[in-house]
Structure 1
């Protein structure tokens, strides 16, 4: 019995006592089920009696006793004790807890998935680095966390579209084009231009693909260098992210907003809403009406639309495509952007608390010899996604980036994350899966396959370490749902590390395979299913993080 199933059992029990008039309350929509810190207090605990005491007009312990009597009649429950001010400590029947192993194995890749967010259609935008350089370490954090979040949301029933916003319009694109043009002619890069080896590489590629380019008039050259240079960078960014296991449903070009008239339509809609005014020759959006610290310019005095105008058009485009919620992941340097974006959403007539979500992440450093490597994108002295992968590998890189809460700045120690030892968290989790895979192969070699689910004596799994492992397996669906709700993939990583530790302790205490001439028993089979269930959860959890679950290490 999973915690979710136990929730239904408790709610049914409340409903039964209400129906017969024993408690004058309404049946709660949700019931909190927790694992007691002390295993001696049972498998699970609930505070439902404390919550119902006030509306029932009775002492919590009295309410708890009424519910305990009802729950004790359930065949899947062994004991129910009333503790403290009115907590219910529940111990499941042996078969009810052991059945978690069978359920996990038979569900396979579906185990842990829920419909907690079914019906939600979200647009998830992440990374969206300017197409004027390769993917840096800072953007890599969002690649790992954003993709993991998308997987999490999908695992809990949401419909997610991953999107990369290509900033291919504006002054930085002209600067990039002039940088390429200068390098192609053997001239110094402009002072405000882009530098680095990649600039020369892209410039050579553009020239090779466009014979006679350097003989064209200067302005025509600039247009080609800017257009083709950006196209080359977008192709490289896409390829780099694909290699990192991050795949987008759409790369959205900012330029299309300018060319399609979407910006003018967006300004027109905001004007119709009554929030646009003109001052000093410019067109403004009165965002202070919606809590922003100052009003924002949409169109400059010279007639040039601002980035903010493009953001307005882009948001409206997403909503027009049917996305109920727009989720945007931004770096720490964009924290001041939240207020104005919420204001523009409100100005369109939407509810920023419902239709918009902005996640801000902190910086990440790659540490070498105890010192963080400094980054400067403009000068070309930066750490790339590919540098991180070369240093620690894709799995370790993704796991390390997703393992910490995004509101924490992190340092990635290349030495630690490249070790094949248990102090490397991703190795520790992957090794647990590989260890189980090896055990199951050995069992098959001994002629001990898992067999049919109906033949498993789940009640045989009565050892304390087996119970610990079963309870941990039962927590997985709730961990995924909670991590998705809190936008916290790091909770999955920490859970997997705890699960791996729980498995290792079980393995050290409970012999699985027979030795020598010993005969296999029903306990042998049950423990094999428990091991296979653990492997299923480890595999599913790692998949949510975009990390592989190797069978050999």
Structure 2
């Protein structure tokens, strides 16, 4: 069960509580499922009870108990615990992790993408400044992954080397007398989202000497209000470099698949112990893509990829059998989980316009 599926299950429980007269609220269109916070437990958590308590005229703990009773017996949910002021904490059945890995491997790098067009037309408008142009390019990729139709307009002429080195360009030029350097706007279009202005710090120095991948990461990884570090340590191949950790984790998963094939076994989704952080990060990927699109913040996706990589790296040494050990179901399950992590890393990097090499 993925966070998206769990969200639907939670909203269905709210709807049944309303139909039964236990809650008098408008059923929300969506609810956010997150990893448990401090004091929480299990695989995922929801603050839906706190969200509904005011409208329901009941304490959050009472709302949580009403929903807990309806959720405890749902398929793939092993247990539901109420913690703190009314957080619902979910422990999934062990088969749920296998289903998540199966879904990722089935959808490949399109895991987390919307199925079908959403019908929203978005026009991204940016000044001819290198960071704004790269951010617009990455946002266009993420928005399209969520089913939106995107048109990028740049106010001014792009430097030819930006297209050659950074892979940006081809947008439509236009005039924007009121535009200001370092701003990115999603302007009105038929059936478009509301107007959004994102102010970003322009690049403090020329990022082109870093090359395409490191330059794009240097411009996309910082939040909009942060100043990019150029040159920084984006080309250094060590753990202190987040881009290196992400690409290294991906390359390691590919190497494990090659080595496993040489040993005569292949990935097979199944339960994996001590991988809760990685499973939670992989399950959260669709939500991160949606939030990145909604808030126009590619830095959210970049930081999420670091989270996935950091959760995957401790698992990887235990994927292959050691010495004379024979490959077991546990090895095949860990290999499938590693492949799923590599798939999410490659797909996320692709949306940022960054390559995910199989060898580093």
Q: TM-score, normalised by structure 1?
A: 0.60
TM-superposed deviation, 1:26? 3.1
Q: Which residue matches 1:449?
A: 266
User: Alpha-carbon deviations, 1:457-512, whole Å to 9, x = none?
Assistant: 52x22x22x1211111001111111111111101111111111111112235xx11
Verify the 8 A CA contact 2:223 2:299 in the aligned structure 1.
Answer: yes
Partner in structure 2 of residue 37 of structure 1: 37
Secondary structure at the residue paired with 1:365?
coil
Shift in Å, 1:44: 1.3
Aligned to 1:480: 289
CA drift at 1:108: 0.5
- Normalized per residue, the structure richer in helix is 1
Aligned counterparts of 2:171 and 2:231: Cα–Cα separation in 1: 32
Q: How far apart in 2 are the matches of 1:425 and 1:551?
A: 17
- Residue 408 of structure 1: how far off its partner (Å): 2.2
The Cα of 1:355 is off from its aligned counterpart by 5.9
- Runs (4+) of structure 1 moved beyond 6 Å? none
Shift of 1:159: 0.4
Q: Secondary structure at the match of 1:417?
A: coil
In structure 2, what is the equivalent of residue 400 of structure 1?
A: 218
5+ long unaligned stretches in structure 1: 129-138, 168-233, 255-306, 312-327, 367-382, 451-455
Number of positions where the alignment pairs a residue of Structure 1 with one of Structure 2:
358
1:517 paired residue number: 324
Report the CA distance shift for 1:490/1:55 in structure 2 as closer, same or farther (over 3 A): closer
When Rg is computed on C-alpha atoms for both structures, the one with the higher figure is 1
**Secondary structure, in 3 states, of the residue corresponding to 1:81?**
strand
The two structures, once aligned, show a CA RMSD in angstroms of 2.8
Structure 2 residue ranges without an equivalent (≥5): none
Aligned counterparts, 1:41-56, within 5 A: 41-56=41-56
Deviation at 1:357, TM superposition (A): 3.4
Q: Which residue of 1 aligns with 2:153?
A: 163
Indicate yes or no: 2:308 matched with 1:499: yes
* 1:93 CA drift (Å): 1.0
SS of 2:290 mapped into structure 1: helix
Counterpart contact for 1:97–1:471, Cα < 8 Å = no
- When residues 36 and 544 of structure 1 are mapped into structure 2, their CA distance, relative to the original with a 3 A threshold, is same
Flag the 1:116–1:127 CA change in 2: closer, same or farther, 3 A: farther
Match for residue 348 of structure 2? 541
**1:448 CA displacement:** 1.3
Q: 1:39 to 1:528 in 2, by over 3 A?
A: farther
TM-score by length of 2: 0.90
> Per the alignment, do residues 39 and 397 of structure 1 end up closer, same or farther by CA in structure 2, a change over 3 Å counting?
farther
Distance 1:354 1:539 in 2: 28
Residues 39 and 106 from structure 1, CA distance in 2 versus in 1: closer, same or farther, beyond 3 angstroms?
Answer: farther
Go from structure 1 to structure 2 and tell me whether the alpha carbon gap of 1:166 and 1:23 turns closer, same or farther (over 3 Å shift).
Answer: closer
Q: How do 1:79-478 residues align onto structure 2 when only pairs under 5 Å count?
A: 79-114=79-114, 118-128=118-128, 139-166=129-156, 237-238=159-160, 240-251=162-173, 308=177, 330-332=180-182, 356-366=195-205, 383=206, 388-390=207-209, 392-414=210-232, 416-450=233-267, 456=268, 458=270, 460-461=271-272, 463-464=273-274, 466-478=275-287
CA 1:54–1:126 in structure 2 vs 1: closer, same or farther (change >3 Å)?
Answer: closer
Is the CA contact 1:393–1:418 (under 8 Å) kept in the aligned structure 2? no
Question: SS where residue 547 of structure 1 aligns?
Answer: coil
The CA distance in 2 between the partners of 1:354 and 1:30, in whole Å, is: 18
> Take 1:494 and 1:66, find their aligned partners in 2: how far apart are those partners?
36
